[in-house]
Structure 1
Amino acid sequence: MKRDIHPPYGPVVFRDKAAGFAFLTRSTATATGDRTVEWEDGRTYPVIDVEISSQSHPFYTGTARVVDTAGRIERFERRYARRETR
């Protein structure tokens, strides 16, 4: 491998604020700013906030989102209603 061309690879905490879930992993993603968090082992790590993780994504959690399909179908039928043939 060539030297000095690879990004730094180190421990980072990814935090899903919506689900209240965080996990520590190693990544080349660098945390923006000076945000850090103290982890369970007492050490301080950079933190990256994410909107969706395995704890909040419907595919992984098995919970489906409520989709208003009846309202969408009724709106479609009103907009493109069949007209009576003459």
Structure 2
Amino acid sequence: MKKNIHPEYRPVVFRDASAHHSFLTNSTRTSSTTVTWEDGKEYPVIDIEISSASHPFHTGRAAVRDAAGRIEQFRRRYGRTGVLTA
């Protein structure tokens, strides 16, 4: 590895404001805003819009699609009208 070309890899807090959820992980992202974490240390904080705490797939609020109904609707709309013969 070349020296002095890689960004600094350090602990960063990611905060999901919509779900009031935060987690501490390592990242190369930077921020001028800091927050005091549960261990009493200050870390840079990155605000994010969606995390596993607010994403519909992870929270169980995702709508399940009726695949069979969609296929039948496609066949009715675009299906063949006659029989092909060789």
What is the TM-score of this pair, normalised by structure 1? Answer: 0.70
Gaps of 5+ in 1: 66-86
Count of residue correspondences? 63
Divergent runs of 4+, >6 A: none
Larger radius of gyration: 2
In structure 1, C-alpha distance between the alignment counterparts of 2:62 and 2:5, rounded to whole Å: 43
What is the TM-score of this pair, normalised by structure 2? Answer: 0.70
In structure 2, C-alpha distance between the alignment counterparts of 1:53 and 1:36, rounded to whole Å: 19
- Matched letter for residue 41 of structure 1: D
Partner of residue 18, structure 1 = 18
Gaps of 5+ in 2: 64-86
RMSD: 1.0
In structure 2, C-alpha distance between the alignment counterparts of 1:49 and 1:29, rounded to whole Å: 11
Residue 35 (1) aligns with residue 40 (2) = no
Cα distance, 1:51 vs structure 2:
0.3
